[in-house]
């Protein structure tokens, strides 16, 4: 008789998830861990087959080694989309899946919230309101403008669909270019420098990998139109922060929505806090009142495949990072 699958829930709030897991899979053995510090010991003693994990307290101190220890789990189900915090692993020994796509639409809304913030000159309107000044102002339509989406995964494709609804021309780059819905032209990633000058708006939504680290640096920023608006919902490290800071200070980049940074939390001494032409958010573009439940529902469906002996979906290739 097959032994019951052991599932460890690693999150800051596991009780409700454990109840849902038990209801759907009554025979599964469930373990819970609510801290980073205790995880190595819990994995060593409980010896789970599967870990459902959400990085709930940032990257500092994240117990990566525990996941890939000698008696570690065979499957790690990451509750978010990015897996760069896990480093590298042997896919023959450990399968890693993610929750890519769960928050794609929310992240696209964040991107366009940032774009509209600048195209409608919300800062200027707010300043006039504070000063009680009534004066004519111009706003900039998105219709007819060109957006470049760097990275065409779930989030990039949702951004493209939203862009088309605004009547924009949509360009995109990806490692393996192919015709895609809502995108007028898809270019290979190595043509990024050639495409950037066409864009009025740039949305960065690519995962952080060895290939994408520093993908947008000084040369790429120099290639952008003067006055471009940028939104970054990728990962800290994809954009060279020093080059980005200089471009924002000079006005080369007119405005930016920045949800990710190389160091998170962003240090209080960072000069980004002093900029008036950015929206700065604490890596929350995917966080809404339903995302965690949606992520867990995805895991439950995948766990059903595991129990049935069927292939898992959303398997991450450690070499590609997605």
DSSP of 46-91, one letter per residue? H--SEEEE---S-STT--HHHHTSTT--SEEEESSS--GGG----T
DSSP of 119-181, one letter per residue? HTTHHHHHHHHHHT---------STT-EEEEE--SHHHHHHHHHHHHTT-EEEEEESS----T
Sign of the four-CA dihedral 10, 15, 16, 22: positive
Rounded (10°) CA dihedral 319, 287, 259, 62: -50
Q: Of the listed 235, 262, 288, 320, which one is catalytic?
A: 235
CA–CA dist 9, 189 (Å, integer): 37
Q: How many CB atoms lie within 10 A of CB 125?
A: 12
Q: Of the listed 10, 157, 162, 283, which one is catalytic?
A: 283
Active site residue 264: yes
Q: By the 8 A CB rule, do 35 and 13 touch?
A: no
CA–CA dist 126, 123 (Å, integer): 5
Active site residue 262: no
Q: Of the listed 109, 264, 288, 307, which one is catalytic?
A: 264
Q: By the 8 A CB rule, do 153 and 175 touch?
A: no
Q: How many CB atoms lie within 10 A of CB 127?
A: 12
CA–CA dist 282, 291 (Å, integer): 16
Smallest CA-to-CA distance from 78 within 58, 99, 61 is with 99
CA–CA dist 306, 315 (Å, integer): 12
Which element (helix H / strand E) includes 229?
strand 228-232
The residues assigned a catalytic role are 235, 264, 283
């Amino acid at each position: 008789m097959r032994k019951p699958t052991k599932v460890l829930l690693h999150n800051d709030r596991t009780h409700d998830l454990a109840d849902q897991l038990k209801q759907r899979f009554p025979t599964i053995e469930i373990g819970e861990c609510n801290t980073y510090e205790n995880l190595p010991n819990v994995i060593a003693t409980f010896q789970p087959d599967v870990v459902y994990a959400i990085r709930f307290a940032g990257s500092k101190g994240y117990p990566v080694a525990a996941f890939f220890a000698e008696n570690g789990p065979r499957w790690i189900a990451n509750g978010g989309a990015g897996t760069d915090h896990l480093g590298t692993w042997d896919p023959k020994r450990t399968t890693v899946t993610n929750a890519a796509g769960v928050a794609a639409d929310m992240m696209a809304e964040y991107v366009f919230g940032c774009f509209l913030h600048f195209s409608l000159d919300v800062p200027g309107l707010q300043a006039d309101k504070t000063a009680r000044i009534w004066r004519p102002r111009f706003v900039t339509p998105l219709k007819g403008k060109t957006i470049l989406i760097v990275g065409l995964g779930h989030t990039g494709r949702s951004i493209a669909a939203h862009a088309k609804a605004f009547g924009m021309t949509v360009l995109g780059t990806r490692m393996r270019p192919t015709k895609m819905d809502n995108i007028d032209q898809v270019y290979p990633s190595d043509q990024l420098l050639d495409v950037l000058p066409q864009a009025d708006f740039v949305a960065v939504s690519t995962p952080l990998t060895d290939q994408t680290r520093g993908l947008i640096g000084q040369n790429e920023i120099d290639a952008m139109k003067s006055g471009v608006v940028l939104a970054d919902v990728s990962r800290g490290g994809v954009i060279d922060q020093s080059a980005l800071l200089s471009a924002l200070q000079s006005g080369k980049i007119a405005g930016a929505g920045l949800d990710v940074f190389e160091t998170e939390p962003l240090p209080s001494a960072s000069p980004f806090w002093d900029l008036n032409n950015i929206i700065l958010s604490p890596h929350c573009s995917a966080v809404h009142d339903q995302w965690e439940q949606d992520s867990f529902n995805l895991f439950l469906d995948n766990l059903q495949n595991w129990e049935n002996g069927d292939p898992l979906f959303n398997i991450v290739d450690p070499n590609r990072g997605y």
